[in-house]
């Protein structure tokens, strides 16, 4: 019994140490990514002028315009999840808010974010994750509803997104802002066209 207890305790201790090690490694990765993102957005804040920051943030406006246009064109027409105008309008509006808030933090708009406190860096990391989840989930909904044949047409703005990442990796903050801003405009156009095509069925079905 004592031997069994000792062996069990040893296995438990080994497992606990293993989990602590894994947790520590995961935490280290998160800290490294947070530090890199914090360094990048601080560089954005130092490099861009206030006018450039305002122009970069304004590239989120096409998302809001797309949501408003959907509401004006389709109203409350809803004949299913894929063709439900209020759902599409709401989702695009959420993308607008999240993207604008994240990028405002990224470029240190008003000097309130991305400061030299760890908490600020963690919040910008959470915001970028939220931004990615909101945009990616809506893109997947459009791809599912539109069919696989439409995926290449839906995905072409990703070329601009990829180019903006390359510019960032090369240290070109203005190049990143320009290409990422163009990604906002192009993706908003594609989202509007795709969601408009889906909601047209609801408009026709509405008496």
The pLDDT, as a whole number, for residue 207 is 41
Q: How many other CB atoms are there within 10 angstroms of residue 166's CB atom?
A: 12
The pLDDT, as a whole number, for residue 162 is 93
The pLDDT, as a whole number, for residue 29 is 55
Taking the C-alpha atoms of residue 40 and residue 46, their distance in angstroms, rounded to an integer, is 10
| Mean pLDDT (the chain, rounded) | 74
Residue with tokens 């999240």: 98
The whole-number average pLDDT for the span 133-150 is: 84
Provide DSSP, the chain.
-HHHHHHHHHHHHHHHHHHHHHHHHHHHHHHHHHHHHHHHHHHHHHHS-HHHHHHHHHTTHHHHHHHHHHHHHHTT--SSSTT-HHHHHHHHHHHHHHHHHHHHHHTTGGG-SS-SSHHHHHHHHHHHHHHHHHHHHHHHHHHHHH-GGGHHHHHTTHHHHHHHHHHHHTT-HHHHHHHHHHHHHHHHHHHHHHHHHHHHHHHHH--
The pLDDT, as a whole number, for residue 116 is 43
Confidence of residue 73 (pLDDT cuts 50, 70, 90): confident
The pLDDT, as a whole number, for residue 62 is 92
Residue with tokens 């959420």: 94
The whole-number average pLDDT for the span 77-103 is: 85
Reference 73, options 48, 92, 54; nearest CA is 92
Confidence of residue 124 (pLDDT cuts 50, 70, 90): confident
Confidence of residue 174 (pLDDT cuts 50, 70, 90): confident
Q: Which residue has the higher pLDDT, 158 or 36?
A: 158
The whole-number average pLDDT for the span 74-90 is: 79
- Whether residue 1 is predicted with pLDDT greater than 50 in this model: the reply is no
- Whether residue 92 is predicted with pLDDT greater than 50 in this model: the reply is yes
Q: What is the pLDDT of residues 130-139, one digit of tens each?
A: 888 998 898 8
Measure Cα distances from 162 to 2, 183, 184 in Å: 61, 9, 12
The pLDDT, as a whole number, for residue 81 is 77
CA atoms within a 13 Å half-sphere pointing along the CA-CB vector of 62: 16
The pLDDT, as a whole number, for residue 117 is 46
Answering whether pTM is above 0.85, one says no
Reference 103, options 41, 176, 46; nearest CA is 41
CA atoms within a 13 Å half-sphere pointing along the CA-CB vector of 18: 6
- Whether residue 75 is predicted with pLDDT greater than 50 in this model: the reply is yes
Confidence of residue 114 (pLDDT cuts 50, 70, 90): very low
Taking the C-alpha atoms of residue 194 and residue 146, their distance in angstroms, rounded to an integer, is 8
Q: Which residue has the higher pLDDT, 158 or 19?
A: 158
């Amino acid at each position: 019994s004592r031997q069994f207890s000792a062996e069990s305790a040893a296995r438990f201790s080994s497992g606990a140490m293993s989990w602590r090690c894994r947790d520590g490694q995961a935490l280290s990765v998160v800290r490294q990514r947070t530090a890199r993102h914090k360094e990048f957005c601080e560089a954005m804040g130092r490099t861009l002028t206030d006018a450039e920051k305002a122009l970069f943030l304004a590239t989120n406006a096409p998302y809001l315009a797309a949501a408003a246009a959907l509401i004006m064109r389709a109203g409350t027409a809803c004949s299913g999840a894929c063709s439900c105008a209020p759902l599409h309008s709401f989702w695009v509006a959420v993308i607008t808010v999240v993207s604008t808030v994240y990028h405002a933090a990224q470029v240190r708009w008003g000097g309130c974010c991305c400061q030299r406190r760890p908490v600020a860096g963690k919040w910008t990391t959470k915001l970028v994750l939220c931004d990615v989840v909101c945009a990616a989930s809506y893109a997947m909904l459009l791809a599912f509803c539109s069919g696989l044949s439409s995926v290449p047409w839906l995905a072409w703005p990703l070329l601009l997104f990829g180019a903006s990442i390359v510019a960032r990796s090369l240290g070109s903050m203005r190049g990143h802002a320009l290409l990422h801003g163009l990604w906002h405009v192009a993706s908003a156009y594609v989202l509007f066209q795709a969601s408009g095509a889906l909601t047209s069925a609801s408009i026709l079905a509405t008496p």
